[in-house]
Structure 1
């Protein structure tokens, strides 16, 4: 048992222990303050132990990519925790304690996915995240829209998980291995069967990432759930899944003929254009950010299709920029009006609450890729990665999508500059934790936009791509058979 335990990523161990402690604390005495403090301490300790190593394992890859993406997941979860504290939409359920437990479990599932080197470990992390999100989406059980959003999520999540497992089954039938990698990287005997397995696994991931044409559920789910959960779904789950997708293709050159590069390119282009088209016509801020999230997944696929450490570095930088701006936008929505997310709720915000309006303008500029916000350099970094891989079609889609995005991002700023309404002028005061979160994210977004070298590591991010070393022992494969 000791070698197995020592092979676990330290952050996974901390999050697992913290989840059990929090569950025990809820059982002994219900206290929202104690639960929130325990959740925060667990996340901070998990962040602190990320630099620690682990014993070599066929199940987990504790490399630089796992540490980087896990740090983004944990920091984003802390941001969601800050905006959830004393949130009236969370307290509507009259039992906010379980909210923090589900939040911690979702972070555990996402972190586990980033280290998954085996189909089983990845799927356990994926389902831990998915089931936690299901509980969080339907947490306001007496609201019809929350129940509707949870029902849509559980049905489509179940379908995508089934497709994903079918792909894993075909991959195992072809290669005899449960290594979490595209079957082509394991030298298959039947390339057609390997291609079918890869396409099925990709389809399941695209469903979870809400990439076009598997995106129709995202806007409805975000609209039906609370703002903190919408932020969690838009950021934490996307980081975990995209980090896992990069690991899945780590040992497979997407530039080679006959690969699935064309399929990924088509989904990337559809997501860039379709996500922006979805967002342009929205008047609800959560639905608008749903379309924005879909478009940014398309931009990230440019880095996925740019092989090597340069593509990996641009993907990491873009994920960090996207997480900061999106969490910040949701936090400002929470501070202005947690129950009313129509675009008109921001009308006149520059005159009534200029600090929040300035923060929202910074977040919109970052998402749009306008300097000096960090989103500008993130898009340039991804574009340069695309140029190095000669992805001309994807670069054209990135440019067109970015121009389309300017319309609805700047529309938010225009609405905030309009004359104030009574609804906005009588808005509530932001909670202290949320105010600190907004200030920190706005500062980080601007500072990293001016000094991007603070985030870019001196050495390239390392992604353990040696898929053969991750093969399960023969005795384990025989037992599974």
Structure 2
């Protein structure tokens, strides 16, 4: 029987859309027009996710999996990209003359890379997606041409990205040497003549993914990168790239029994513990909101790894729910920074915000309460769901650390709310705040409402998570019919 592969609709739409954007830039630069085209491309790719696949390739190697996990992750990535696009409008089109049409082209390409990674079942398709995400990110991080710290952030990012890519490729090479296959799946070392090579390859691949996820101890300069780049691009690094990498990691280990002790499992346990504790401690001492959110994102990766290490019916469902909750809450904070105080991300600049901008302060409080895991925000149920998965998987030690580290997180999240309630000290005058443009204001309102609604009525997301299926890479020579 003839074998078939396919190209996901969203990948196809984003590829065509990127070509259209390139053509628009070549014909004549118009930032407002190119911004609208970029937004239309993202919306079209979101619609395409739910449509029947249109492009099949006969007699080719399977590169992507047609499963619900890939579709769910792609929807989260595209929705995040749309939110980042909206919060970028004022800086890229109105305020900053150094930002051109390439900004939105790079955003589309980064989204293309992230969507490609979520369904990849072949080492080549995964790595191409990873680089398609990483290289535009490098350009976006350095896009603030007038600031020297943007160049520093880009240099630090390229070092981290290069090391991670090298580790991934070395790991793929060792795995291929042992298995003779480029399937994007952790090899089963139990029935191999030389399991050491496959084990080393798996550990290297996992370490490369942890570099990209910025998990402790692979986090290094994440806080510097988020501080040096613009607020929308910082959101791209903290949210979109994390969704893509975690979704790919779940697929890579979909066929591995993580109950069994081994080098890979032990590494994930160690990284989960270090990320939960180290991420919260890093955020605890920060005075810049972006640096605080860098530590927060590291801690939340640690929480997600608890569900990842708890195989069972709740593992995928709780991970999917937590990804959505984290994305909505974090994007909301970045949208508030971009709309209210784009030039002042120092936490002390938010003194008296409840008096100056009560609605914005209320929205910020909702997002912070969600990240802290306090009801009625969605983050409370997300952490509860993770805890349920951990209990079902017998990860009591990890759950104890999750609870203890979450207590640390309460301090720095609630500290921001306390600062917004207090007037500014005499020696530090209040920084001027701006009013968000209509689109960014609507985005903030929607994210705040979603954070509350899914916290009070989480049933829809829970039911959706229960139906998620992660299909491992098909074995070589397998065939299927479209």
Return the TM-score normalized by structure 2: 0.94
CA separation of 1:188 and 1:41: change in aligned 2, threshold 3 A: farther
Q: Which of 90, 97, 109 is 2:113 aligned to?
A: 109
The residue number in structure 2 matching 1:478 is: none
Structure 1: distance between partners of 2:41 and 2:192 = 42
> What does residue 15 of structure 1 align with?
14
In 2, Cα distance between the equivalents of 1:213 and 1:356? 35
Tell me which of 307, 319, 324 is aligned to 2:311: 307
Structure 2, unaligned runs of 5 or more: none
Residues in 1 aligned to 2:291 and 2:297: alpha-carbon distance in whole angstroms: 10
Aligned partner of 1:289 in structure 2 is 293
Task: Note if contact 2:312-2:392 (Cα within 8 Å) is conserved in structure 1.
Answer: no
Deviations 1:443-470 (A, max 9, x none): 0000000000022225723334343x24
Distance of aligned partners of 1:456 and 1:424 in 2 relative to their CA distance in 1, 3 Å threshold: farther
Q: Does 1:243 align with 2:242?
A: no
1:431 is the counterpart of 2:437: yes
How far 1:473 moved relative to its partner? 7.6
Contact 1:118 1:470 in 2 (8 A): no
1:135 matched residue in structure 2: 139
Q: Is residue 418 from structure 1 mapped to residue 435 from structure 2 by the alignment?
A: no
The answer to whether residue 449 in structure 2 is matched with residue 443 in structure 1 is yes
Alpha-carbon distance in structure 1 between the residues aligned to 2:464 and 2:9: 24
Matches within 5 A, 1:290-439: 290-420=294-424, 424=430, 426-439=432-445
Q: Is the 8 A contact 2:113 2:130 kept in 1?
A: yes
Determine the structure 2 residue equivalent to 1:274. 278
Shift of the alpha carbon at 1:46? Answer: 0.8
Q: Distance in 1 between matches of 2:109 and 2:172?
A: 24
Cα distance in 1 between the residues matched to 2:157 and 2:28: 32
Which secondary structure state, in structure 2, belongs to the residue aligned with residue 86 of structure 1? helix
* SS of match in other structure, 2:254: coil
Please list the CA deviations of residues 54-104 of structure 1 after superposition, one character each: whole Å capped at 9, or x if unmatched: 459621012100010110000000000010002169953624211100011
5+ long unaligned stretches in structure 1: 475-481
Match of 2:463 among 452, 457, 465: 457
Distance in 2 between residues matched to 1:70 and 1:150, nearest whole Å: 26
Q: SS at the partner of 2:170? A: helix
Q: Deviations over 1:7-48 (max 9, x none)?
A: 100000001101110111111121122111111111111111
Asked whether the equivalents of residues 317 and 465 of structure 2 are also in contact (C-alpha less than 8 Å), the reply is no
Q: How many residues align?
A: 471
SS at match of 2:297: helix
Alignment partner, residue 39 of structure 1: 38
Give the TM-score, by structure 1 length: 0.94
Q: Is the 8 A contact 1:213 1:267 kept in 2?
A: yes
Give the structure 1 partner of residue 476 of structure 2: 471
Relative to structure 1, the CA distance from residue 425 to residue 339 in structure 2 (aligned partners, 3 Å threshold; closer, same or farther) is: closer
Cα pair 1:325 1:366 within 8 Å, conserved: yes
Matched residue SS, 1:52: coil
Instruction: Provide the C-alpha distance between the structure 2 equivalents of 1:25 and 1:473, rounded to a whole number of angstroms.
Output: 42
Report if aligned partners of 1:309, 1:462 keep a CA contact under 8 Å in 2.
no
Distance 1:7 1:305 in 2: 31
From 124, 130, 146, the counterpart of 1:126:
130
208, 222, 227: which one aligns with 2:226: 222
Shift of 1:344: 1.3
Match of 1:253 in 2: 257
For residues 186 and 89 of structure 1, the distance between their equivalents in structure 2, rounded to whole angstroms, comes to 56
1 CA distance for matches of 2:138 and 2:152? 11
- What is the distance in 2 between the residues matched to 1:423 and 1:446? 33
Contact 1:352 1:424 in 2 (8 A): no
Counterpart among 208, 213, 218 of residue 217 in structure 2: 213
